[in-house]
Chain A
Amino acid sequence: MSDALVMEPTGGDQVTTAKPKKRHALSTRLWHWANAASIIILFMSGLNISNAHRRLYWGNDGFAPEDAWLEVPRFPGWATIPDHYNLAAARDWHIVFALVFAFGLLAFMIASLINGHMKRDIFARAKEWSPANIWTDIREHLKLNFEHGEGKYNILQKIAYAGVILILIPLMIVTGMVMSPGMEAAWPWMTDLFGGRQSARSLHFIAAWLLCGFLVLHLVLVLLAGPIHQIRDMIFGGKE
């Protein structure tokens, strides 16, 4: 009866496993690293693509300086993939990793709904939204105390992670899809959702920098919270 060693009925229909739980599920770790690589490569190849036409517009069309709401700087070679201006090569990188990025998120979301990660760790409970709790959390962060709160993540973490997973990354993916004329022909309603192709392009650019901002903040907090421990756990899983 080897089953009895692993699963022990604790009355009713409740079943617990004897296996110690990992801090990060395998699906979370795989996605974390595939997503990290995708974001860095997409961001840097995206800066190369941006150099091809540095003006941003609202609406459907635009090409003249007087139509633009913003002219962005030319990004230097050390910030772009490849390391010199090459629109065709940058698009190759962007086209490959767009698929990794989009299908990676889809797989992670499905896995996280099934294993309960989303409900248990990412979604905040009603009482966590109280101003007092948020204020306490801000104060603890400023004191560089990251080991507080009852759940796995505190409210500021939940807001940041949910914002990135549920809003920013989907926004990146969908505005990217809108910019593909072949995709637009299949799902033209998506373009209208953003008020036109050039609006989607502007939002793509804004969301990319917000994501870059998240990445910087995330890295700083990992460094402050003990980088070796944090990175080791995100690779091997760690203990709950």
Chain B
Amino acid sequence: MQRRNFLVAAGAAFLTGCTEIGKTDWFGKIAQGAQNWHRGLHRALGGGRIPMAPEYDRSAISSYFRGNGNLTVDSDAYREALAAGFPDWRLTVSGLVDTPLSLSLEDIRALPQRTQVTRHDCVEGWSAIGEWTGPQLAQILDMAGVQEGARFAVFRCADFTMRGPADNRRRVDYYESCDMDDAMHPQTIVAHMLNGEALPERNGAPLRMRLERQLGYKQPKYLTGIELVASLDGINGGQGGYWEDVAGYQWYAGI
């Protein structure tokens, strides 16, 4: 009986220890280092070619493409725009670029398009396959002219979540970011179509990013702006994305 009590106590101490260690700054640094190792390995093991996410035949498309996270933008302006077909929606390109841009949906549809059938992997574990269409981000950034010193692309979104206690609710906007390697990747597109039709509301109408080598939370929906920056410090919570800021999710979500 004593031995059993000892084992239970040792197990509980181990569990509490791990939980507490997980909250410390130094463990956070180790986790950050491990994340960079994974990213370095993923890039290095590509063997010199550009690592591409697998693309599928149209027959592999999932019968229903689930929406997750925010399924709409909770504002009258968005609801009206959705009903009218987004005639005034703008995608701005700003930050470390020579020529800032403000593109309408028509401008975006007039660019050369890329269509890709890819798999969307949620951090929770499920996957869905869909066909996405839109211009490559690299092409839009080339139009704007990337300046020296640009290291990250920050994606601004219309959707938001109300967070905090009832007496101190605050609006937290969704946003995301990636490095220039992912921004200029051939499969990184600004999608306006899913499975040959205009992007559904739950999947981010009218525009969403596709970063095919990362998990779902890195593919922001309801996209309004792209900003090139030298550092992610000082942007919202400073961790490079909504889930990174509010819940400590990994910035590199290729793992």
Contact = CB atoms under 8 A, between A and B. Distances in A.
Contacts of A95: 31, 34-35, 38, 250, 255
Q: B37, B121, B212, B247 — which one has the most chain A CB atoms within 10 A of its CB?
A: B121
Contact of A83 (B16, B30, B31): B16
Contacts of A114: none
Contact of B129 (A49, A60, A179): A60
A171 B32 CA distance: 26
Given A49-B125, A63-B128, A182 B18 contact: no
A56 to B, nearest CB: 9
Contacts of A180: 38, 42, 254-255
A186 B45 contact: yes
Given A182-B255, A187-B45, A81 B250 contact: no
Interface string B54-78: 1010001010101000000000000
Contacts of A83: 15-16, 18-19
B235 interface: no
Interface residues of B, number: 55
B213 A60 contact: no
B129 A53 contact: no
Nearest to B41: A183
Given A61-B127, A181-B215, A92 B31 contact: yes
A185 B53 CA distance: 4
Given A95-B255, A96-B30, A184 B54 contact: yes
Contacts of A29: none
Contacts of B127: 60-63, 197-198
A41 interface: yes
B250 A88 contact: yes
Nearest to A56: B125
A87 interface: yes
A82 B214 contact: no
B109 interface: no
B31 A53 contact: no
Main secondary structure of the interface of A (DSSP, over half): helix
A89 B20 CA distance: 11
Interface in B102-125: 119, 121-125
A93 B19 CA distance: 10
A188 interface: yes
Contacts of B254: 180-183, 185
Interface in B47-102: 47, 51-54, 56, 60, 62, 64, 66
A211 B250 CA distance: 27
A35 interface: no
Contacts of B45: 183, 186-187
Contacts of A93: 18, 22, 31
A82 B18 contact: yes
B247 A182 contact: no
Contact of B249 (A63, A84, A88, A188): A88
23 contacts: A44-B18, A57-B126, A61-B126, A61-B129, A62-B127, A63-B122, A63-B126, A63-B127, A64-B64, A81-B15, A83-B16, A83-B18, A87-B123, A88-B243, A92-B248, A181-B213, A181-B215, A182-B252, A182-B255, A183-B42, A184-B54, A185-B212, A198-B127
Given A61-B126, A83-B19, A180-B255, 8 more contacts: A44-B18, A52-B125, A55-B126, A92-B248, A183-B41, A185-B51, A185-B212, A191-B54
**Leading 7 A-B pairs by shortest Cβ distance:** A182-B254, A63-B126, A53-B125, A185-B51, A182-B42, A92-B31, A82-B19
